[in-house]
Amino acid sequence: MERTLDEVKIFVKAGDGGRGCDSRLRISEKKFLNTGGEGGSGGSVIVRADRNVTNLREFLYHPHFRAGSGGLGGSNHKRGKKGRDVVISVPSGTVVYRKDKSFLIRDLVEAGDEVIVLEGGRGGAGNAGGRFAQPGEAGGSLEIVLIFKIPADVFLIGLPNTGKSKLLNRLTHAHAREESFPFSTRHPELGTHETPDYRQVLLCELPALYRESHAGRGLGVDYLKHLDRGKIILFVLDPLNAFAGTLGEGYDILLETLGRYRPSLLEISRGVVVNKMDLEEVRERVGAEKFRPPDPLFLISAETGEGVEELMHFVTAHLRKMETPKELSHG
Ligand SMILES: Nc1nc2c(ncn2[C@@H]2O[C@H](COP(=O)(O)OP(=O)(O)OP(=O)(O)O)[C@@H](O)[C@H]2O)c(=O)[nH]1
Ligand SMILES: [Mg+2]
């Protein structure tokens, strides 16, 4: 499976402004009129979210971008041609920062969102204004960091082997690897679920967490940065899991891992999914444990589909509620 590239650095340069023109028109024996036109402005550098771009891989190989220079001013007040803008296409969900990441330039959430990261240099004045013709302003240059955060609505997280991939595959057309061994999903997996009323919900499975993940063991916690964009996080649990003695313990490990990584992640809505309910042993353990998490609980089987419809009903109702403008939701 292809690695999702999350962060790249690129180097951009705006176009230089064109030189102004020095031109004189002789109108009589002793009289001249200055007619030199202004130089064209340099091209700008624009970063735009494009639905046809799905990752930042290309930038590893081509990190340099340069906009075109403005044309020279001409005689007879003719202005120089504007330099060619350069448009850098990135996936939706890309955050654009200045090089040290201390300054956020723009968060390009949706396809079509764009930002001018550098304006081209201004063209130099021509001598028509009575001054000497001027050289154009040099275009600036900048180092930019692009960070891709998966723009999913729903994230599936869990201890290893709880059935996240099977659930993702059941709900979407994804082909995430389902395996009987732990840590089989090594990179985020995405899929689009279509609801009965034709809405699209983007789901993402993150690689498994366990008690030691925050210390960098297993697959680490680096990919938790994607959760920033999530509207709902589903904790997928199964009571037979080798990485936790009980459902409660599994839940606590996940909650604690999120909180340690970034406390604000705990403010995102959650749902708890107990999977593998088709297995007798699972039903018995669930009955015996009397697990009562503080978040909405769903007992499902990703294998048979039992309980999945109810889960997605909760998810879509919640997403819809989040979209409702505040003024309307009062009534
Ligand atoms: N009986 C039963 N088995 C399931 C169910 N869901 C998943 N499994 C099995 O559990 C194992 C793990 O499933 P995956 O979907 O790969 O689990 P995962 O959570 O994605 O695992 P990692 O990505 O490794 O963390 C596989 O052998 C699945 O066939 C279920 O609802 N019922
Ligand atoms: Mg998986």
Six-digit token string for 134: 């001027």
Contact 189, 154 (CB under 8 A): no
Whose CA is closest to atom 16 on ligand 1? 178
Which ligand is in closest contact with the Cα of 209? Answer: 1
In this predicted structure, what is the pLDDT of residue 77?
A: 93
Ligand 1 mean position, distance from CA 158 (Å): 11
Which ligand is in closest contact with the Cα of 273? Answer: 1
Mean pLDDT, the chain cut into blocks of 10 residues (331 residues total): 72 98 91 94 97 91 97 96 98 91 88 96 92 94 94 96 97 94 92 91 95 88 91 97 95 97 96 98 95 96 97 95 65 39
Ligand 1, from 159, 169, 178: best to mutate by most atoms within 8 Å of Cβ? Answer: 178
Which ligand is in closest contact with the Cα of 302? Answer: 1
Where does ligand 1 bind, in terms of residues with CB under 6 Å? 158, 160-166, 178-180, 182-185, 208, 275-276, 278-279, 301-303
Q: Which residue has the tokens 């919640």?
A: 318
What are the angstrom distances between the C-alpha of 57 and each of 10, 51, 65, 189, 303? 12, 15, 15, 17, 35
CA within 13 Å, CB half, 216: 0
Q: What Rg, from alpha-carbon coordinates, does the chain have?
A: 28
In this predicted structure, what is the pLDDT of residue 328?
A: 52
248: Cβ contacts below 8 Å, ≥ 6 apart: 289, 291, 293
Ligand 2 mean position, distance from CA 165 (Å): 4
In this predicted structure, what is the pLDDT of residue 323?
A: 83
Strands 32-34 and 24-26: antiparallel
Which ligand is in closest contact with the Cα of 303? Answer: 1
Closest atom of ligand 1 relative to the 208 alpha carbon: 25
In this predicted structure, what is the pLDDT of residue 114?
A: 96
Q: How far apart are CA 171 and CA 250, in angstroms?
A: 23
Instruction: Enter the pTM of the model.
Output: 0.80
What are the structural domains of the chain? 7-148 (2.70.210.12), 154-329 (3.40.50.300)
Whose CA is closest to atom 3 on ligand 1? 276
Q: Apex CA 313: angle with CA 251 and CA 277, to 5°?
A: 50
Closest atom of ligand 1 relative to the 180 alpha carbon: 27
In this predicted structure, what is the pLDDT of residue 18?
A: 98
Q: How far apart are CA 227 and CA 99, in angstroms?
A: 23
Ligand 1 mean position, distance from CA 164 (Å): 6
Whose CA is closest to atom 8 on ligand 1? 163
Please state, as a whole number, how many other Cβ atoms lie within 10 Å of the Cβ of residue 305: 13
